[in-house]
């Protein structure tokens, strides 16, 4: 037998009852040929039976601490779900309001272009510039402050 076959057999023995039919068939055949692995399987089985026969009781302080931590984690997960729901609703509201205000601004710029006899491309470029101006201003402020490339208080990204 190769060392690989013995390692494979020991890994399968450690998995216990979670083996597929093919794995069980291979393991039975290997244990029929290999006394060392058969002895290992018997020892592992005795150890598992011994561990199952031992009573285990946690003291009350451990149980209270564990329950407290589980409750705290459940509270954190609940808060996270609530925050994500709030963020999702905010994103939906921003999307709807952006669509409506963009439509209204487009019509306003079209009216202003017709009223002042501007060529269509001129008022359309004006609309685009007006529409992206807040993003450009915020980007310039972030770059000027030095936080655009880093997550640390004003320190520049060093690559």
Coil, strand or helix: which one is 152? Answer: coil
The closest alpha carbon to 5, from 64, 32, 62, belongs to: 32
CB 61 within 8 A of CB 30: no
The reported pLDDT for the residue numbered 159 is 43
Q: Are 27 and 38 in contact (CB under 8 A)?
A: no
Cβ-based neighbours of 5, under 8 Å, separated by 6 or more: 30, 34
The 3-state secondary structure of 102-127 reads HHHHHHHHHHHHHHCCCCHHHHHHHH
Q: Is 148 exposed, middle or buried (0-12, 13-18, 19+ CB in 10 A)?
A: middle
Rounded to whole angstroms, the Cα distance separating 12 from 44 reads 11
**Average pLDDT per 10 consecutive residues for the chain, totaling 159 residues:** 78 82 87 89 88 84 94 95 92 91 91 92 91 87 69 49
pLDDT at position 158 is: 47
Q: How far is CA 92 from the centre of its chain?
A: 22
């Amino acid at each position: 037998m190769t060392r690989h076959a013995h390692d494979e057999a020991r890994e399968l023995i450690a998995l216990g009852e979670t083996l597929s039919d093919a794995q069980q068939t291979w393991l039975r055949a290997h244990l029929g040929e290999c006394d060392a692995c058969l002895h290992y399987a018997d020892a592992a089985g005795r150890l598992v039976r011994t561990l199952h026969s031992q009573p285990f009781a946690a003291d009350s302080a451990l149980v209270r601490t564990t329950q407290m931590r589980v409750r705290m984690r459940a509270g954190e997960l609940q808060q996270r779900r609530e925050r994500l729901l709030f963020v999702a609703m905010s994103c939906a509201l921003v999307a709807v309001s952006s669509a409506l205000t963009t439509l209204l601004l487009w019509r306003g710029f079209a009216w202003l272009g017709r009223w002042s006899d501007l060529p269509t491309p001129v008022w359309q470029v004006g609309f685009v510039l007006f529409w992206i101006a807040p993003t450009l201003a915020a980007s310039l402020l972030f770059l000027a402050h030095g936080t655009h490339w880093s997550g640390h208080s004003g320190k520049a990204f060093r690559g």
